[in-house]
Structure 1
Amino acid sequence: MTKTLQELIDASIFLSTEYQAVLAELSQGADWDVDFSAPSFTLQTTPPVTLTPYLLGTESASRGSFVWSWQELGHFNPRVVSAAVQAKQAGERHEVSELTTDELPLEDGLARRLTLAAKAVTGLYAHYPARAGGNITAWLLLDGPEFELPRLTEQRMMQVIGESLTTDTAVDHNLAVASYAKLRGAHVEWDTDATCVVTVHDGAQRFWFDDHQITGVEPAEPSVGEDELRELEHQAQTHREALLEDRRAAVAQAEQLGEQQRVESAERKRREREEAAAAASSASEREEPLPSELSREEIEAPEPEQPEGDVAVPASEVRDPDRPFDQEPTSGPAEPGRVETTVLPGHSGDAATAGPQASPHPNTTAMSRIPDPEFAAAQPGLQDEDTVRDTREPVAAEPAEPAAEQPVLRDVSEDTVAREQAERETVVARETVAGPGAAEDDISAPAVVDGQEVETNEQAEKKGKKKRGFLSRFFDL
């Protein structure tokens, strides 16, 4: 038979209120302890009261859901979760999805509504919301001999119904009144859907309904006698015993399902470990194994590559662009250009015609332009090989070992020797300043001092500017 969650709530609401009143008298607001392994729920009263707890499920505010305990049967004592299993079985019979869904999103009052519905199918009508910390509340059903109820009286019945109607939990009051009378062994006689008479052993009350809501209550004449009331009380006891048998069967099923869940959980964990180990092994195989020993070349960090053309050299090897004579000597024939003039050793009586001794400035190194052979042959006095010999050498080359000269015998007069000597001195003096081959009045040719061309003051004045120093030339000032 199909039922709804609200119908189960309406069927248990009045009897639940009566049991909760008994629990309030037992607890008196005292602290409590719960032990699911025992299982036991102890109220720290004087004397302490120990009841049997049944865990329906947990409400998690942080998770935002209610989880039935039958989802994790392997973690609890089978007796503790037997009521939850019983509620699930009833939900399957009556097609109540809220009782068969393992986790439900939280709604206002959902956990209490689920607990009230579970009471109708388990026969356990006392509940306790136990705060477990961390915004988690464990909803428990409680049982024990302390919940043995006395026979229902007219006054007690009116107190319980009046207390229940202070909330809006009950929707169908007709169903709530009929269910309460049946569970408590009272007699109900319906005249119409709008009115009924409820008879207990000490009197009767007439209830008036409008659209399944109680609109009035008044005393009435009993409809049945004491014998019929005893029979109804016996039927109520039989119903409670049937629910108890269902709960005992639920304990056995919870134990079986719990063992099955433990096996499945162990198998799942084993597969996860194997998969993790296989993944780790596969990852290690893909990685290149580390060598047992590393060579010095492998340990040392490689030197960073330098861009092409950006190579550091010692300062001693840096060539000064202002020095034109720092090239390495060449093995090929010397080309016409600027070279150093070396005086060959001759007879002690010969006078030097070139070099520092022949220069009017003895502290400077005399440099000269070496013209081509035809031009050199045309110069006066330069054909006399017994007096002067020009040697073309690379700058950095060692001076050649002088060869022994053969004396040349010539007949010359004193006037000729003196005239040639004077001409040579004039040529040497002029070459020292302007270089060989320069005209006597040519002051534009640069002078050469210590291998550097320098500009004379006369040349600077002729060009209309002063001679610039090194910084002026470097920065183009």
Structure 2
Amino acid sequence: MSTTLQDLVNRAVFYSTEVQTHFGGLIADAEWEVDFTADPHLTFTADGDVVLRGRPHLLGSESSRDTTWLWGWENVNDFPDAVVGLSHDVRKFGAAEEVPELTTAELDLDEELALRLTLAAKEATDKWAHYPAVAGAGTTVWLLVDAPEIALPHPQVKVSVRALMQGLTQTTVSDHRAAIESYVAKRGIPVRELPDGGLRMLFADGSADLSFDDERRISNCDMNTPLEGEAAEQFAAASSGIPAEAAPQETPDRAGSAAAAPAPAEPAVAPAETAPAASSTPDEASRPAAAAASGSAPAASTNAPAASETDSAAEPTTDATESTRSAVGDSDAQEVAAAEAQPPSHDAEQSGTPAEEKPAQEDKPKKKGLFSKLFGR
């Protein structure tokens, strides 16, 4: 059976959400510059100081004018391999897994397509930070970003519950349970089966009990802090390597994750940016890209930086989104929503805002972005 785009989205969404929240916290309110030469780099600066510098990979671009997505591997602008090479890896993965959306050069755009293709590309390449940069003329360039600073810290119950909450609001997740199983495997979070068929996630600072309906959707999330009672015993057993009736899947070596129990995260490749460039105004017939660009980053990247925490556990609910929201408390939910990054806007200033998925509830200041090289279509 071939892999579908939805399968890849399910597997990537929650881990991507947590990484983007962390990334957004690092680059909040910073200006950005990107260079698409043979030595590509993406740099974020604040008050003249570099806060993050990393390597950008051109994944693809979306045009609101043409209402299409164009994969970077099509490379109509003759960018060097250092810029578009990773997009070729995505195409090869798509061919091997029979995912047509990853092997078709140009696709008709819908509201969520760019994000969903980016999530699939993250699963294919193991690069987990992305940045949508506005290039002007209705074009947004989607970048995957490498930088050591993006490595995640130890898993924490409230941060993870927020990642679930936010992830479910970003795009369609068809199999919540499969998505969570993929997330805990990537993150190295021990889990235990519950008597009612639910799943308990275990952390050093607490636990989260998840219930599912007949369609494998989250029906309730009950968060408990601090870690105590049966959950504390289960976490201690998992940390000691004692087999459990339902241990997480074998964990790949990913940024910020441990194999069985939370452990200090090793630095992982993540976002960063740099390189000013001369600005140019793309004409209506061209799709802008960048050999070098500058702008400023929003207060949050593709998922918001972590909001303030409360210690109250969630009351049972029947709605997946509501249950995760209540698990972190109303004030947390509001702060998280407010922190969520907005999609880049297409204005005359070429503002660039990294937004993992949906617009934030509060408007963020628009960020400038200048691209000196144009896409050739």
Q: How does the TM-score come out when normalised to structure 2?
A: 0.58
Structure 1 residues 232 and 191 mapped into 2: Cα distance closer, same or farther (>3 Å)? Answer: closer
For the residues of structure 1 that align with 2:196 and 2:147, how far apart are their CA atoms?
Answer: 37
What is the deviation of 1:196? 1.5
Partner of 1:106: 109
What is the deviation of 1:233? 11
Partner of 2:219: 215
**1:40-439 alignment to 2 at 5 Å?**
40-46=41-47, 47-48=49-50, 49-72=52-75, 75-190=78-193, 194-210=197-213, 211-218=215-222, 219=224, 221=231, 222=234, 224-228=237-241, 235-237=251-253
Structure 1 residues 69 and 168 mapped into 2: Cα distance closer, same or farther (>3 Å)? Answer: closer
For the residues of structure 2 that align with 1:67 and 1:104, how far apart are their CA atoms?
Answer: 7
Contact 2:55 2:145 in 1 (8 A): yes
For the residues of structure 1 that align with 2:191 and 2:96, how far apart are their CA atoms?
Answer: 27
**Aligned-partner residue type, residue 217 of structure 2:** Q
Partner of 2:322: none
For the residues of structure 1 that align with 2:15 and 2:67, how far apart are their CA atoms?
Answer: 30
What is the deviation of 1:232? 7.4
Matched pairs, number: 241
| CA offset digits 1:51-74 (Å, max 9, x no partner) | 210111111222221111111288
Contact 2:175 2:216 in 1 (8 A): yes
User: What percentage of residue pairs aligned between the two structures are identical?
Assistant: 34
**Aligned-partner residue type, residue 72 of structure 1:** N
Partner of 1:16: 16
Contact 1:126 1:141 in 2 (8 A): yes
Q: Please state which structure has a larger fraction of its residues in strand.
A: 2
Deviates further, 114-123 or 218-227: 218-227
What is the deviation of 1:25? 1.4
What is the deviation of 1:112? 1.2
Unaligned stretches of 5+ residues in structure 2:
225-229, 258-377
For the residues of structure 2 that align with 1:26 and 1:157, how far apart are their CA atoms?
Answer: 18
Contact 1:123 1:240 in 2 (8 A): no
For the residues of structure 2 that align with 1:7 and 1:168, how far apart are their CA atoms?
Answer: 13
Contact 2:32 2:44 in 1 (8 A): yes
What is the deviation of 1:240? 9.8
3-state SS of 1:14 partner: helix
3-state SS of 1:225 partner: helix
Contact 1:41 1:50 in 2 (8 A): yes
Contact 1:182 1:236 in 2 (8 A): yes
| CA offset digits 1:121-153 (Å, max 9, x no partner) | 111111111111111111111110110111112
Q: Please state which structure has a larger fraction of its residues in helix.
A: 1
Bigger relative contact order, structure 1 or 2 (CA pairs below 8 A, ≥6 apart): 2
**Aligned-partner residue type, residue 90 of structure 2:** A
For the residues of structure 2 that align with 1:62 and 1:157, how far apart are their CA atoms?
Answer: 37
| CA offset digits 1:250-303 (Å, max 9, x no partner) | xxxxxxxxxxxxxxxxxxxxxxxxxxxxxxxxxxxxxxxxxxxxxxxxxxxxxx
For the residues of structure 2 that align with 1:199 and 1:86, how far apart are their CA atoms?
Answer: 35
For the residues of structure 1 that align with 2:3 and 2:130, how far apart are their CA atoms?
Answer: 22
3-state SS of 1:81 partner: helix
Contact 2:41 2:55 in 1 (8 A): yes
What is the deviation of 1:194? 4.3
Structure 1 residues 167 and 90 mapped into 2: Cα distance closer, same or farther (>3 Å)? Answer: same
What is the deviation of 1:159? 2.3
| CA offset digits 1:404-432 (Å, max 9, x no partner) | xxxxxxxxxxxxxxxxxxxxxxxxxxxxx
**Aligned-partner residue type, residue 27 of structure 1:** I
Partner of 1:39: 40
Q: How does the TM-score come out when normalised to structure 1?
A: 0.46
Unaligned stretches of 5+ residues in structure 1:
242-477
Contact 1:186 1:233 in 2 (8 A): no
What is the deviation of 1:83? 2.2
Structure 1 residues 100 and 146 mapped into 2: Cα distance closer, same or farther (>3 Å)? Answer: same
What is the deviation of 1:161? 1.6
3-state SS of 1:92 partner: helix
What is the deviation of 1:35? 0.3
For the residues of structure 1 that align with 2:249 and 2:46, how far apart are their CA atoms?
Answer: 32
| CA offset digits 1:162-203 (Å, max 9, x no partner) | 222334432311111111100011123345894112223444
